[in-house]
Structure 1
Amino acid sequence: MGNSYFRFKQFTVQQAGSAMKVCTDACVQGAFTAAFIKQEPRILDIGAGTGLLSLMLAQQSHAVIDALELDGSAFRQAEENFKASPWHSRLHALHQDVQTYAPPAPYPFIITNPPFYENDLKGPDSRRNAAMHATTLDYTALLNAIRRLLTPDGRYSVLLPYEGFQRFREMAEAAGYILQELLDVRQRPGYGFFRSIGIFGRGGETHVRELTIQGAGVQYTPEFTALLKDYYLYL
């Protein structure tokens, strides 16, 4: 699934460029989060890229989804992907910065796959830096945006590298949000966790799960296949 196309059973998501390739961990976030979507009428996708997460949630809900993307190329590709999908009437791509975005009302659910590697060294590719480093939206700014745009009883889903997630969780809990659902992801048995996906809200307790993507060889594990089978054409 790290290839150039993510093939939904009903249509194909095109890619906008090397910095926005669909990756396996984003697919896992979309499928994991969709299982916890209730009857929210509206969802906000922060940093939507080419629209994968919005499309996955649209497939499993009746929500109207607003997808914010700052990069022009990714935004245009998201628009095209939304128009080609069976859920085009409920999907809105918005070429806007979340820090200045002012919707008419807050959202009951937010999903975000934000910039990675907040304090790591950057490479020479500026577009990849923007996609993989917190150059335009660090964890503090992201959390402030979520607090501003979320309803008081709303929830949000975040995907981050394992170590970065620990820092973000501390910040979120200091702001009054409890980690309600946690999925720690490893690539293969015996490897350490490399991604964490969390759903936060006000109150509740933490439910912890683990997922291993590949078993022996390059075969996907039964757990991974079960999670993604409703989305990926060839599982």
Structure 2
Amino acid sequence: MANTFFEFKQFTVHQDKTAMKVCTDACIQGAFTASRMPAVPRVLDIGTGTGLLSLMLAQQSSAAIDAIELDEQAALQAAANFEASPWGDRLHVIREDVRAFSGEHYPFIISNPPFYEQDLKSPSHQRNAAMHAVSLGYEELLAAIKRLLSKDGSFSVLLPYDGFQRFNALAVSGGFVLRELLLVRQTPAHDYFRAVGIFGPAGTLNTTEISIYDAQRNYTPEFSALLQQYYLYL
């Protein structure tokens, strides 16, 4: 049974009410994005779930963060996690479908969107909504980002490696430029399984690779350096 909470150095994520739990690849996205996000006054987190990404960005910035979440139980969980954190005064949950959300423009957006558009689904509808593009496809996510992003704003997404190729093509056709790309492997012997991309209106591409584990299944120095400010035992 999955733990009902995940404790970080500066905050705790309770996750008993949400279908998707804290996972390593989402932590990688949060840490990578926080290290490269410009100093902005406001951020939008699309599909916040437990609130993990908002909390990671809040730890490393002074931005006010709006976290939008469609699922009622996940929204309640994120709100409780925010309130219990040191940054509750600048973290705000919005329970709404991002496709109908009409907030002001944001200079930075982050999203860990639904995965696996064509893969087999779980018997759990709540997990399907979180893991599959059953409620928010890539085109719809990009449309929401384009509508809510400031003119010169940028955004971060985490996707499976194969799905990222399709998303990137859609983003480029929509006028965005991939500026930062992080390719993630389980170990140096594995193929890439996740990609984190930071897109903006212009810029040149900087590509980074990271393996989570070495051949002995210990965290690699690169992974430890990236997550050192968050993980309790690093």
TM-score range, shorter chain: over 0.9
Counterpart mapping for 1:200-211 below 5 A = 200-211=199-210
Which residue number in structure 2 is paired with residue 62 of structure 1? 62
1:84 aligns with 2:99: no
Q: What's the CA shift for 1:3?
A: 5.3
CA contact (8 A) 2:46 2:68 kept: yes
Q: SS of 2:209's equivalent?
A: strand
Structure 1: which 5+ residue stretches go unaligned?
Answer: none
Q: SS of 2:36's equivalent?
A: coil
CA contact (8 A) 2:18 2:74 kept: no
CA contact (8 A) 1:183 1:198 kept: yes
Q: SS of 2:19's equivalent?
A: helix
CA contact (8 A) 2:22 2:52 kept: yes
CA contact (8 A) 1:183 1:210 kept: yes
CA displacement 1:41-63 (0-9 Å, x = unmatched): 00000000010000000001010
| Paired letter, 1:69 | E
Which residue number in structure 2 is paired with residue 73 of structure 1? 73
CA displacement 1:169-198 (0-9 Å, x = unmatched): 000001110000000000012100000000
| Paired letter, 2:92 | H
Q: What's the CA shift for 1:11?
A: 2.8
Equivalent pairs, count? 233
Instruction: Give RMSD over aligned pairs.
Output: 1.2
| Paired letter, 1:164 | G
CA contact (8 A) 1:165 1:196 kept: yes
1:53 aligns with 2:71: no
Instruction: Report % sequence identity.
Output: 61
Which residue number in structure 2 is paired with residue 192 of structure 1? 191
CA contact (8 A) 1:6 1:232 kept: no
1:167 aligns with 2:160: no
Q: What's the CA shift for 1:119?
A: 1.6
Counterpart mapping for 1:1-235 below 5 A = 4-17=4-17, 19-103=19-103, 105-235=104-234
**Structure 2: distance between partners of 1:13 and 1:223:** 24
Q: SS of 1:182's equivalent?
A: strand
CA contact (8 A) 2:18 2:50 kept: no
**Structure 2: distance between partners of 1:84 and 1:52:** 13
| Paired letter, 1:6 | F
**Structure 1: distance between partners of 2:5 and 2:172:** 36
CA contact (8 A) 1:6 1:13 kept: yes
TM-score, with length taken from structure 2: 0.97
Q: Which moved more, 1:14-23 or 1:80-89?
A: 14-23
* Pair 24,4 (structure 1): closer, same or farther in 2 beyond 3 Å: farther
Structure 2: which 5+ residue stretches go unaligned?
Answer: none
TM-score, with length taken from structure 1: 0.96
Q: What's the CA shift for 1:17?
A: 4.2
**Structure 1: distance between partners of 2:128 and 2:153:** 31
Q: SS of 1:16's equivalent?
A: coil
